[in-house]
Amino acid sequence: MYTGYNLEDRVFLAVDCIIFGFDDEDLKVLLIKRDFEPEKGKWSLMGGFLKSNETLDDAADRILHRLTGVHDIYQEQLYSFSDLDRDPVARTISTSYYAIINIEKHNEELIQQYNAQWFSLADIPDLIFDHNEMVQKAIRRLRRRTSINPIGFELLPEKFTMRQLQKLYEAILDKELDKRNFINKINSMDILIKLNEKDMTSSTKGSFLYQFDQEKYDKKKGDNFYLKL
C-alpha cells in the first residue's frame, strides 16, 4: 500500500451554504444561531464537514436538506476560503455554495430546530469567521447570474404576477426598475405563460398571473443571453 500521503499535512474540509429566499418584497438569507463552541451564541451560515463517501455537491445538498427539508433546488459552488487562521480550532478550508429557495416551501419545524432565522440583506449581523465575506461574494455572484441566466425564478410561487417578478429582480439587484421597460425586457425572453387568471388582492381590477414555460426555461438555461435591467 502506498503510504507517501502520510507525510503530508492534513486539513479539514468544510462546506458552508448561503441560502437565499424571497418573501414577495425582500431578498433574505437564512442564518443559524450556533449552540456550540467556538463562537457559541453567534450567527452563522449552515455548514458541515465533507464526509469520505460524498462529493462536495453531495455535502452541500445534505446540509441544505438538513436545514430546509427540500431537495433539487438551484445551488452553485461559489468559492473556497483557505486563510490560515480562518478557524481558531483547526486548519480548515471551506468551500461555499449558494442556493435559492422559495421561503414558503421550506420546513419551518427544521428551521426552528436549528435556531435559524431569515435576515434581510440590509440587516445581516456580524457572522462567525469569514461568513460575512461568503455572503457578500454570493450576492455579487447571484446578481451576475441574474443578468446572464434565467435564474432566481425558483424564489417565486408557481403562479405569480409581473409585479412579484419585478420586486424579485429589484431585491436581487438592489435597485428600482422602470415598470414598462422591465415588462418589455421580460416578455422578450419568451419564457412566461400568461394565464387566464388574476390575483385580486392587489387591486379591484386584479393582476394577471403568469407561469414559466418549463421547456423554454430549460432551453434558456443553456443559451447565452444578457438581460440588462
Distances (CA, A) of 147 to 97, 108, 141, 166, 225: 19, 31, 10, 14, 8
With a CB cutoff of 8 Å and minimum separation 6, the contacts of 196 are none
Sign of CA dihedral 172, 173, 174, 176: negative
Cβ density class 13-52: b for 16+ within 10 Å, e for less: ebbbbbbbbbebebbbbbbbebeeeebeebbbbbbeebee
pLDDT in tens, 166-222: 999 999 989 999 999 999 988 888 889 999 998 888 777 888 999 988 787 777 666
Distances (CA, A) of 47 to 18, 30, 57, 219: 9, 12, 13, 32
Query: Under a CB-based contact definition with an 8 Å cutoff, are residues 30 and 135 in contact?
Result: no
**What is the pTM (predicted TM-score) of this model?**
0.87
Domain boundaries, the chain: 11-148, 156-222
- For residue 96, what pLDDT is reported? 98
- For residue 43, what pLDDT is reported? 97
Query: Under a CB-based contact definition with an 8 Å cutoff, are residues 193 and 210 in contact?
Result: yes
The region that residue 149 occupies, defined by phi over 0 for left and psi between -120 and 50 for alpha, beta otherwise, is beta
Rg of the chain over CA atoms, in angstroms? Answer: 20
- For residue 1, what pLDDT is reported? 59
CATH 3.40.190.150 matches 11-148 = no
- For residue 222, what pLDDT is reported? 60
pLDDT tens per residue, the chain (229 residues)?
566 677 778 899 999 999 999 888 889 999 999 988 999 999 999 999 999 999 999 999 999 988 888 777 889 999 999 999 999 999 999 999 999 888 877 777 777 888 899 999 999 999 999 999 999 999 999 998 887 777 777 788 889 999 999 999 999 989 999 999 999 988 888 889 999 998 888 777 888 999 988 787 777 666 655 666 6
Pick the CATH number of 156-222 from 1.10.4160.10, 1.10.10.10, 1.20.1560.10, 1.10.1040.10: 1.10.10.10
